[in-house]
Amino acid sequence: MNEQEQRAAMLKAREQAKREYQKLKEQERANSPHIPKAHKKGKGFLFYFVCFILVSVMVLGSGAFWGYRQLEAINTMVIPAQEEPFELKDGANLNTVVRELAGHQYHEILLNIWVKLHRFEYPVIQKGPYLIDGVKTLPQILTDMAQGNIVKIKLPTIPLIEGMTVSMIERRLNARADLVQDIAMHKAFANPNAFIKQTLVKKAEDESLLQAIGGSHNTLEGLLMPATYEYEPGKTKTIDLLSQALVKMATYMRDSYIDRDQSIDDVIVDPYQVLILASLVERESSLKSERALIAGVFLNRLRKNMRLQTDPAVMYGVSPDFKGPLRMSQLRKDTPYNTYTREGLPPTPIAMPSVESIDAVLHPAQTKAIYFVAKGPDPQQGHIFSNTLQEHNNAVKIYRKAVRDYKNALLEQESMDNHK
């Protein structure tokens, strides 16, 4: 046996000796009465407990991380767009709103946790319609609700135009199919006295609005404020719009009459007469710039006991909806509204006066003029104002010449068109 073979034999013998020694140690451990049986197998309770703790920590950690990620996702969640505004009704709170907006995507328990974490950010949410546009996140929408940033819904409108009569307004309200046609409106037109008192006197001790229009009256003519009124299709009643217009006029008169130029008190005895005269001013001119002058002329004539001689009042006496030029027979026929045959003001307004016409009467121009006549056939040209009859007659000549020239120009144009 050479040297190399001897070395290999020695290593093999050493390994054999280690195995036998290890075997003897295991037999000794197994036979020892001082070592627990579980430990004799190399594993014990502590080992398994430690393993259980480690696994539990890993599971809980993963769950907590998942929950954190879900809560963060709610913070950035974009609520899908809705065609109609989201209506926040009475009794709604943060919990109910969050569940309604996000409940289709997250479990209720998770949403409850989110609400508890963020409840102080939205202490109050206000009722109303809110825009859900598919762009805003849940927190952004809740911020809108906390701040009351409701969506402005564009409602249809109905204009009650200055110069309209009661009959025109009634027809306009009746013509709107999306308004709730209420029999109460027809009763209001048929019995204005009761409607005026019921609408303007809400407390027995407060008749300020009623007094602002000079008390109750047998017609609503001149008592409805010209304005553009919004309404909800299928919900708003015609009587509601009528009430709004009456309250709006009475409120304006209550606030404005007290600040009037008191020089008018020698001929204008109450707020109702202001509305009567304002309606005449309204129908006489479409130019706001000259209404105070027209009011001044009418007041001067009343002071001199001169008849007002205003065609619009005569036309109203023929018919509230009269159209077309007056005939001489109509100008001569006596009616309560014929200001050529009767002195003073007509018994009622003849149309709905605008704010500008009311203000013109309350603050008339200081003028000596007692006559006015149109400058020509175009209303936008305005009027010529005169202090004396001679000046007025000259102004009438100017007006008649302007009308003749206008008619001749139309005939000439018509003739040229026919020869083309």
DSSP assignment of 108-149, as one string? Answer: HHHHHHHHHHHGGG-S----EEE---SSSBHHHHHHHHHHT-
The larger pLDDT score, comparing residue 60 to residue 180, is at: 180
pLDDT score at 304: 96
pLDDT score at 291: 96
Percent of the chain surpassing pLDDT 70: 82
Of 198-207, 333-342, 356-365, least confident by mean pLDDT is 198-207
pLDDT score at 42: 47
Nearest CA-CA partner of 379 in 357, 399, 395: 399
pLDDT score at 227: 96
Mean pLDDT of 322-340: 92
- 378-409 pLDDT, tens digit each: 888 899 999 999 999 999 999 999 888 888 88
DSSP string spanning 186-255? HHHHH-HHHHHHHHH-SBTTB-HHHHHTTS--S--TT-S--EEEE--TTT-BHHHHHHHHHHHHHHHHHH
CB 207 within 8 Å of CB 271: no
CB 275 within 8 Å of CB 349: yes
pLDDT score at 63: 45
Reported residue count of the chain is 420
Mean pLDDT of 153-171: 92
Mean pLDDT of 90-113: 78
The larger pLDDT score, comparing residue 10 to residue 243, is at: 243
Amino acid occupying residue 68: Y
Angle between helices 108-118 and 45-75 (to 10 degrees): 70
pLDDT score at 368: 96
Neighbours of 131 (CB within 10 A): 18
In angstroms, the CA 149 to CA 245 distance is 28
Q: Is the pLDDT of residue 410 over 70?
A: yes
Residue 34 pLDDT grade (very low, low, confident, very high; cuts 50, 70, 90): low
The alpha carbon of 7 is separated from its chain's Cα centroid by a whole number of angstroms, namely: 107
Residue 3 pLDDT grade (very low, low, confident, very high; cuts 50, 70, 90): low
Q: Is the pLDDT of residue 98 over 70?
A: yes
pLDDT score at 59: 46
Residue 157 pLDDT grade (very low, low, confident, very high; cuts 50, 70, 90): very high
CB-based contacts of 130-136 (< 8 A; 24+ apart in sequence):
130/85, 130/86, 130/87, 130/88, 131/85, 131/86, 132/79, 132/80, 132/81, 132/82, 132/85, 132/86, 132/101, 133/81, 134/78, 134/79, 134/80, 134/81, 135/78, 135/81, 136/78, 136/79
Mean pLDDT of 180-204: 93
Mean pLDDT of 271-295: 95
Residue 54 pLDDT grade (very low, low, confident, very high; cuts 50, 70, 90): low
Percent of the chain surpassing pLDDT 90: 53
Q: Is the pLDDT of residue 21 over 50?
A: yes
276: burial class by Cβ within 10 Å (0-12, 13-18, 19+)? Answer: buried
DSSP string spanning 43-67? --HHHHHHHHHHHHHHHHHHHHHHH
In angstroms, the CA 420 to CA 417 distance is 5
Of 10-14, 137-141, 305-309, least confident by mean pLDDT is 10-14
Mean pLDDT of 201-214: 91
Residue 115 pLDDT grade (very low, low, confident, very high; cuts 50, 70, 90): confident
Of 75-89, 146-160, 259-273, least confident by mean pLDDT is 75-89
Of 142-151, 173-182, 261-270, 355-364, least confident by mean pLDDT is 142-151
Nearest CA-CA partner of 264 in 250, 277, 279, 246: 277
Of 61-65, 107-111, 187-191, 325-329, least confident by mean pLDDT is 61-65
Q: Is the pLDDT of residue 118 over 70?
A: yes
